[in-house]
Amino acid sequence: MRSPHLDEAPPGAVHVGREILEIDEASGVVRLAFSARPEFANRHGNVAGGYIAAMLDSSAAAPILAFLPPEKTLMTTELHVYYLKPAPLGRLFGTGRVTEQTDRDVFSEAELSDPDGNVVAHATATFRLLRRREPA
C-alpha cells in the first residue's frame, strides 16, 4: 500500500522541481522528474554537481518513502554519487529502487537521466529509519 509520505513536498524537493511520475508497487521502483532551472548551472552551462546530488538523494529516498508507514521517517546517512556525463538544464528523470533493508537501515540506488534516456549520474545511498516526530 502506498504511503502518504510522497504526497508531502519538503522545500528541497520543491526547489529541484520534484514530480512523482510512477510508483510501481510490484517492483518497488519509483520514477520521478526534476526541473533543472538556469540558476542550477555551473560555469559550463550544465547542472552543477550539488543539484545532481540533491536529485539523486530524492530519487534514492522515494522508493523507501513510497511504502514507509506514516509513523516512520528516514534520514540519509550516506550518498555516493558517480557523475557519468554532463547533465543539461531542463527536465531530468530519476529512477530509484531499494536494494537491501535491515531493521534500522535501507540501502537503495538511483539513476538520473536526460530527456534522451542517457544516464548522467548514478548513486548508492543508505538511509536510517527513524520514528517520526510531530513538528514543534
Residue spans of the domains in the chain: they are 7-131
Q: Read off the pLDDT band of 132 (50, 70, 90).
A: confident
What beta strand segments (E) does 24-118 contain?
30-36, 72-83, 90-101, 105-113
pLDDT in tens, 40-99: 999 999 999 999 999 999 999 999 999 999 899 999 999 999 999 999 999 999 999 999
pLDDT at 1: 60
pLDDT at 135: 61
pLDDT at 116: 97
Query: Does position 12 have pLDDT exceeding 70, yes or no?
Result: yes
Q: What amino acid is encoded at 124 in this protein?
A: T
pLDDT at 86: 97
Residues 95-107 as b/e (b if ≥16 CB within 10 A, e otherwise) read bbbbeeeeeeebb
Q: Read off the pLDDT band of 7 (50, 70, 90).
A: confident
pLDDT in tens, 104-118: 999 999 999 999 999
Mean pLDDT of 27-45: 97
pLDDT at 133: 83
* CATH architecture designation of domain 7-131: Roll (3.10)
Query: Does position 32 have pLDDT exceeding 60, yes or no?
Result: yes
Closest residue by Cα to residue 115 from 86, 88, 85: 88
